[in-house]
């Protein structure tokens, strides 16, 4: 007689779960946001639950003259903060189609406005690995100098992760495995 055990269910789940990996780009919908002298601009976006394997930050369109006014950082739903950018680019303008990626060859300090392409941020985004991505992410942009201001028009996150199954999914998988075991018992 074959009996399905708790441990065999867990082993089967461990085999099945890595298949449920997910990759997605999540764009903020609360833009445009003004970037004003001596103020901190925030913008948020919401991500579904998944265990983070990699995060890249996409600053798609940010208009600002004299980019050296700015400092940027990002905070995860779990409250982890990673510094992205600090006072680079001198008097030159804008950040367009910029990807902050730990895997980039160049550090952001080696780029020049409008910073098109991939750059490593000030601190590694790997700080987010293993966290649950689910919830509200916040991008902060502080303008520390007078005269030049701008707007954040578009930004997002590119996240690779493993989907966290809903409890209902686990119940269904468990029920399916039990049914298979029952059929095998009847066939035996
Ligand atoms: Ca990356
Ligand atoms: Ca300014």
Copy the structure tokens of residue 62: 């940010």
Question: What are the pLDDT digits (tens) for 132-150?
Answer: 999 999 999 999 999 999 9
Distance 83 CA to ligand 2 centre (A): 19
Q: Is residue 63 a part of any domain in this protein?
A: yes
Shortest-distance ligand to the CA of residue 37? 2
Give the total number of structural domains in the chain. 1
**Comparing C-alpha atoms, which of 160, 137, 157 is closest to residue 60?**
157
Whether 44 maps to a domain, the answer reads yes
- Alpha-carbon distance 158 to 54, whole Å? 8
Question: Is residue 104 scored above 70 in pLDDT?
Answer: yes
CA 26–ligand 1 middle distance (angstroms)? 15
* Residue 49's CATH number: 2.60.120.260
Q: Is residue 5 part of a domain?
A: no
What residues does 46 pair with on adjacent strands?
Answer: 136
Tell me what the mean pLDDT of segment 20-44 comes to: 95
For residue range 4-20, what is the model confidence (pLDDT) as tens digits?
Answer: 666 666 565 555 555 57
Q: Are 54 and 162 in contact (CB under 8 A)?
A: no
Q: Rounded CA gap, 80 and 128, in Å?
A: 7
Residue 150 is predicted with a pLDDT of 98
pLDDT at 3: 57
For range 68-94, the mean pLDDT: 98
pLDDT at residue 144, as a whole number: 98
Q: What is the pLDDT of residue 182?
A: 84
What pLDDT, on the 0 to 100 scale, is given for residue 173?
Answer: 76
102-106: average pLDDT? 98
Query: Which residues are found with C-beta within 5 Å of the ion, ligand 1?
Result: 54, 56, 101-103
DSSP state of 91: T
CA of 128 from ligand 1 middle (Å) equals 11
Within a domain: 136: yes
Distance CA(66)–CA(83), nearest Å, equals: 20
Which pLDDT tens digit goes with each residue over 110-135? 999 999 999 999 999 999 999 999 99
| Residue where the block lists tokens 């989907």 | 163
- CA 93/CA 89 separation, integer angstroms: 8
């Amino acid at each position: 007689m074959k009996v399905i055990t708790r441990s065999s269910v867990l082993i089967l789940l461990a085999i099945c779960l890595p298949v449920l990996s997910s990759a997605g780009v999540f764009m903020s919908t609360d833009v445009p946001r003004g970037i004003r002298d001596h103020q901190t601009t925030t913008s948020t976006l919401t991500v579904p639950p998944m265990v983070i394997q990699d995060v890249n930050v996409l600053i798609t369109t940010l208009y600002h003259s004299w980019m050296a006014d700015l400092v940027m950082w990002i905070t995860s739903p779990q409250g982890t903060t990673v510094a992205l950018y600090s006072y680079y680019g001198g008097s030159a303008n804008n950040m367009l189609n910029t990807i902050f990626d730990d895997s980039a060859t160049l550090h952001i300090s080696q780029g020049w406005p409008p910073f098109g392409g991939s750059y490593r941020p000030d601190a590694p985004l790997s700080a987010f690995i293993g966290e649950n991505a689910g919830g509200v992410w916040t991008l902060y942009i502080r303008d520390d100098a007078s005269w030049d201001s701008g707007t954040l028009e578009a930004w997002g996150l590119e996240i690779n992760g493993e989907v966290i199954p809903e409890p209902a999914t686990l119940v269904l998988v468990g029920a399916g495995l039990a049914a298979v075991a029952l059929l095998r018992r009847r066939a035996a």
